[in-house]
């Protein structure tokens, strides 16, 4: 341990820490562009200057290692003057784009100008013109005027993805970021460049111009596109009062968690999530009666389904109920299914239909493409794929959760097979051919629209929250399940108590302590 003095305050830090990190630990923010905790410090932006007693010049805090007894001042007039000078040079070459720049509102340069600069421009010449729309990747656009040459993007591609697509070319005023022979940035993590860039120089076509950051509310959640369970922020727009459908998720960003994903997420999750939240959503409650398709109220449909189940129960034939589940379901929903169907009704035919596993990339993306397979396994479910031969003859009522059953290739055999089952109930957030075969289609919430927990492949139980509000009448699966339990009069006192928020999770932890380890 070394003892140093930061602005006169004694601080104990580990040997070998940089002054920047020591200050960060002590809660002192030092402005910076090029430093990023995931990379080796480069020391190119010169904004992190601090004054160290006994040293003739200002030093870079990001790359200076602490010495015993070092006296550092991070806010002295000399330091502030130096930072102002650095900012003035950057701004001499920076366009006045803030009103149309996607970064405005969360831009480091704006923040630091506010904190240190507030200088009148003394630059009377014309600013250098540079290209403003350079395609550097499938979704990435580079604006060379806005770039402050911090080389974070270059170092990300060199140190993290090791794909080296971008580099710093030319020197002095001509220096610019570019690709080698205009090769595009093409790796599974390119979206991170947008978050990484401290200014609005790199933007992605998915978010570019769509809205302004200050309209968005951010919520903490978990990426549902693979079993890694990366921590994310969901940036959600609450919408305009008179524009239907204007409330939606605009952007997914990584939320730093060193135990899971560090500061990154993959493109599959980042761009896949928004499609999932918005496309092919199941919006209406449907009851298919032969030729007639009718829209119904939730109460009526739940009573009808309850009556069918009750009829089986009175004849002692509840083992003729079968389930096809998905691991899009949260731990709590799987637990309710277990309590109602397995323990309560003695259902034995339980299958899981999940999207086909995809390729793993050795970094974050895993081959299991749903978020909660581990949770289902820990719950005691056997994750076997649907077996039509075992399913069809033994089933009077089939509950299908999630849309993935149709994607599983039985060479289309599922369709005639399903038609032989008298009652098929589909609870889904997304629509596909399954909906036309099912008797009841109940629109359910997608993962951004409900509360619960998910278990990632390493057994971490992580929270998701209802951040977005769907523009149509959906219900979370947990509510549907509890309503159903009430309709069929299954252990009223037990399930009645579970309708309070968090109650299901408490009950789950009481029964299976594995799920108690909420980080």
User: Cβ distance 188 to 361 under 8 Å?
Assistant: yes
Q: Which does 147 bind (CB under 5 to 8 A by kind): ligand FES, another protein, ligand SF4, none?
A: ligand SF4
Min dist. Cβ of residue 133 to another protein (A): 5
Which one among 2, 26, 98, 408 touches ligand SF4, defined by CB under 6 A? 98
> Which of 39, 20, 62, 260 minimizes the C-alpha distance to 153?
39
- 316 forms part of the interface with another protein (CB under 8 A): no
CB of 362 to ligand SF4, least distance (A): 25
Indicate which of ligand FES, another protein, ligand SF4, none lies near residue 241 (CB less than 5 to 8 Å, by partner kind): another protein
Whole-angstrom distance, CA of residue 35 vs CA of residue 407: 45
Helix-strand-coil percent breakdown of the chain, rounded to 5? 30, 20, 50
Shortest separation between residue 242's beta carbon and another protein, angstroms:
6
Give min distance, CB of 143 to ligand FES, in A: 20
Please return the burial class of 85, using the count of CB atoms within 10 Å of its CB with bins 0-12, 13-18 and 19+.
Answer: middle
* Beta carbons of 38 and 263 less than 8 angstroms apart: yes
Question: Of residues 66, 153, 194, 340, which one binds ligand SF4 by CB under 6 A?
Answer: 153
CB-based contact 115:147 (threshold 8 Å)? no
Please select the residue that binds another protein; options are 126, 209, 295, 316, rule is CB under 8 A: 209
For residue 99, the minimal CB distance to ligand SF4 (Å) is 7
464 vs 73: CA distance, rounded Å: 42
Judged by phi (left if over 0) then psi (alpha if -120 to 50, else beta), residue 424 lies in: beta
32 binds, among ligand FES, another protein, ligand SF4, none (CB under 5 to 8 A by kind): ligand FES
Residue 45's binding partner out of ligand FES, ligand SF4, another protein, none, with CB under 5 to 8 Å set by partner kind: ligand FES
Rg (CA), the chain: 28
Residue 93 touches ligand SF4, criterion: CB under 6 A: no
CB atoms under 10 Å from CB of 513, counted, come to 9
Which of 178, 191, 200, 224 is in the footprint of ligand SF4 by CB under 6 A?
Answer: 200
Binding-site member from 121, 246, 256, 297 for another protein (CB under 8 A) = 246
Kindly state the tokens that stand for 50: 């601090």
Considering only residues 56, 170, 214, 359, which one is a binding residue for another protein as defined by CB under 8 A? 214
62 binds, among ligand FES, another protein, ligand SF4, none (CB under 5 to 8 A by kind): ligand FES
Q: Which of ligand SF4, ligand FES, another protein, none does residue 94 bind to, with CB < 5 to 8 Å depending on kind?
A: ligand SF4
Strand ranges (E), 14-97:
49-52, 59-60, 71-73
- 242 sits near another protein (criterion: CB under 8 A): yes
* HSE (side-chain half, CA atoms, 13 Å) at 348: 5
Shortest separation between residue 207's beta carbon and ligand SF4, angstroms: 14
Residue 480, C-beta contacts closer than 8 angstroms, at least 6 positions apart: 302, 427, 442, 444
Q: Between 43 and 407, whose beta carbon lies closer to ligand FES?
A: 43
d(CA 96, CA 335): 55
**According to CB under 6 A, which one of 199, 423, 425, 508 is a site residue for ligand SF4?**
199
Among 428, 471, 432, which Cα is nearest to 446's? 428
Q: Which residues bind another protein (CB under 8 A)?
A: 97, 99-100, 131-133, 208-212, 214-215, 240-243, 246
Interface contacts to ligand SF4, rule CB under 6 A: 94, 97-98, 101, 103-104, 107, 109-110, 146-153, 177, 196-202
């Amino acid at each position: 341990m070394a003892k140093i003095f930061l602005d006169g305050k004694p601080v104990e830090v580990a040997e070998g820490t940089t002054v920047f990190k020591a200050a960060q630990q002590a809660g002192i923010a030092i402005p910076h562009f090029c430093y990023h905790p995931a990379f080796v410090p480069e020391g190119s932006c010169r904004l992190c200057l601090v004054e160290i007693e006994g040293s003739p010049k200002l030093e870079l805090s990001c790359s200076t290692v602490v010495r015993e007894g070092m006296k550092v001042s991070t806010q002295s007039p000399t330091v502030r003057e130096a930072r102002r000078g650095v900012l003035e040079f950057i701004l001499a070459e920076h366009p006045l784009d803030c009103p149309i720049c996607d970064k405005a509102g969360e831009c480091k340069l704006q923040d630091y100008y506010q904190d240190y600069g507030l200088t009148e421009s003394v630059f009377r010449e014309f600013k250098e013109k540079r290209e403003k729309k350079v395609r550097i990747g499938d979704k990435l656009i580079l604006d060379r005027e806005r770039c402050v040459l911090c080389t974070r993007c270059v170092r990300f591609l060199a140190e993290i993805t090791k794909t080296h697509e971008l580099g710093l070319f030319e020197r002095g005023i001509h220096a610019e970021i570019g690709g080698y022979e205009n090769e595009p940035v093409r790796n599974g993590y390119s979206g991170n460049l947008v978050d990484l860039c401290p200014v609005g120089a790199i933007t992605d076509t998915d978010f570019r111009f769509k809205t302004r950051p200050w309209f968005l509310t951010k919520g903490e959640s978990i990426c549902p596109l693979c079993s890694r369970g990366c921590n994310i922020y969901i940036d959600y727009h609450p919408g305009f009062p008179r524009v239907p459908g204007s409330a939606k998720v605009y952007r997914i960003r990584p939320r730093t968690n060193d135990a899971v994903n560090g500061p990154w997420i993959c493109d599959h999750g980042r761009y896949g999530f928004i499609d999932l939240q918005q496309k092919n959503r199941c919006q209406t409650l449907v009851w298919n009666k032969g030729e007639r398709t009718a829209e119904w109220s939730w109460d009526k449909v739940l009573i009808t389904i309850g009556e069918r189940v009750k009829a089986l129960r009175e004849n002692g034939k509840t083992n003729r109920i079968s389930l096809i589940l998905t691991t899009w379901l949260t731990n709590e929903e799987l637990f309710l299914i277990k309590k109602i169907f397995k323990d309560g009704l003695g259902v034995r035919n339980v299958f899981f239909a999940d999207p086909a596993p995809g390729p793993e990339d050795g970094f974050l993306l895993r081959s299991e493409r749903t978020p909660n397979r581990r949770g289902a396994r820990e719950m005691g479910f056997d994750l076997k794929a649907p077996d039509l031969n075992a399913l069809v003859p033994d089933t009077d009522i089939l509950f299908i959760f999630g849309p993935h059953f149709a994607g599983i290739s039985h060479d289309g055999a599922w369709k005639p097979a399903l038609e032989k089952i008298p009652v098929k109930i589909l609870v889904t957030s997304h629509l596909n051919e399954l909906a036309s075969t099912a008797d009841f289609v109940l629109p359910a919430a997608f993962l951004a629209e409900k509360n619960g927990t998910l278990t990632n492949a390493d057994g971490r139980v992580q929270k998701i929250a209802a951040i977005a509000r769907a523009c149509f009448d959906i219900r979370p699966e947990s509510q549907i399940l509890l309503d159903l339990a009430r309709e069929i009069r299954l252990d009223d006192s037990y399930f009645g108590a579970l309708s309070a928020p968090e109650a299901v999770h408490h009950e789950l932890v009481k029964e299976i302590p594995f799920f108690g380890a909420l980080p």
